[in-house]
Structure 1
């Protein structure tokens, strides 16, 4: 029996330096309702999220509809790029993708972030085998997880992600068998 993980990149939020507490913008809140409407059609069994407010808000509607709590999972939080805000985000992000073992000061390399994301993904695949699980997360960590299972999900793929975005990953045990973007399918 396949397990489906719905990786949900959070909706739009207004940028500020409060990485964990930053909420969705007005547009993001409207899009989060669309995420809920889409996921209602997908027979979701469980809802898990990064501890960051914008991710929780993006998947919170489907959890409420299911009369469930959003289960918080620390390891789905966004990769920490650096200990302090970087001067040029584009240059900083390109450097970590070009050199997966490189990390900015007090930040995570792609290798380190991917390891924590994949570890929790494998745990979820085992714990919720045969279920449909929605996971509220972030662009970089989402693509690093996907990249572990299929290298075609890379930096250029990350650049094309929408906000929000939803990818359905279908697994047999821990073997990825299909990836389908479902955000565009409904929009």
Structure 2
């Protein structure tokens, strides 16, 4: 049958900080995720510690009666602790230079390693249907690891929420965007 890891970018939120809550639209999106996954087997839910990620999958976890596990490695990548008016341009640079790091921040390579570490551990676990709730930055870097052609423009096209599946069977890995 194979393993499926669902990578879920959080729903629309009121900000970027750890405690940022979902907007009203984000709350409605979290309920849409319940419908989206209604007929999908999910055995385990693991989330970033950020409230917007947890809140995005809480209704689904309740519906499926699955506890939400927290894994700090699914946290959003910090670009820098310095505010940049041109942060989008700087973020784009980090898609081209994975080792580029700004003051107080994390390089793309560093964030990618921690995200992939989670994926590799899950590929070794017995559960076959796992959902990860995370952020656009980390989702992009995980996708870029498996699909090096994933670029900044692809990050720009992500939605809140967004859902990808990493399907692994017979030594083959395939990534598909499920959210339309």
Name the CA distance, whole Å, in 1 between partners of 2:77 and 2:171. 23
Name the CA distance, whole Å, in 2 between partners of 1:6 and 1:21. 24
Name the CA distance, whole Å, in 2 between partners of 1:66 and 1:79. 29
Question: 1:143–1:153: 8 Å Cα contact kept in structure 2?
Answer: yes
Q: Structure 1, residues 83-139: CA drift from partner, whole Å, max 9, x if none? A: 23332221221121221111110101111110111111111121145x111110001
Question: 2:9–2:136: 8 Å Cα contact kept in structure 1?
Answer: yes
Moved more, 89-98 or 31-40: 89-98
In the other structure, the counterpart of 2:11 is 11
In structure 1, stretches of 5+ residues that fail to align are none
TM-score, length-scaled by structure 2: 0.93
In the other structure, the counterpart of 1:124 is 122
Alignment partner of 2:96 out of 78, 92, 98: 98
Name the CA distance, whole Å, in 2 between partners of 1:136 and 1:85. 26
Matched, 1:29 2:12: no
Mapping of residues 1-187 of structure 1, within 5 Å: 1-15=1-15, 19-129=17-127, 131-172=128-169, 175-176=172-173, 178-184=174-180
Question: 1:144–1:154: 8 Å Cα contact kept in structure 2?
Answer: no
- Please state how far the C-alpha of 1:43 moved relative to its aligned partner: 1.2
- Please state how far the C-alpha of 1:140 moved relative to its aligned partner: 1.1
Name the CA distance, whole Å, in 2 between partners of 1:150 and 1:183. 18
In structure 2, the residue corresponding to 1:166 is in which secondary structure? Answer: strand
Give the length in aligned residue pairs: 180
Question: 2:43–2:66: 8 Å Cα contact kept in structure 1?
Answer: no
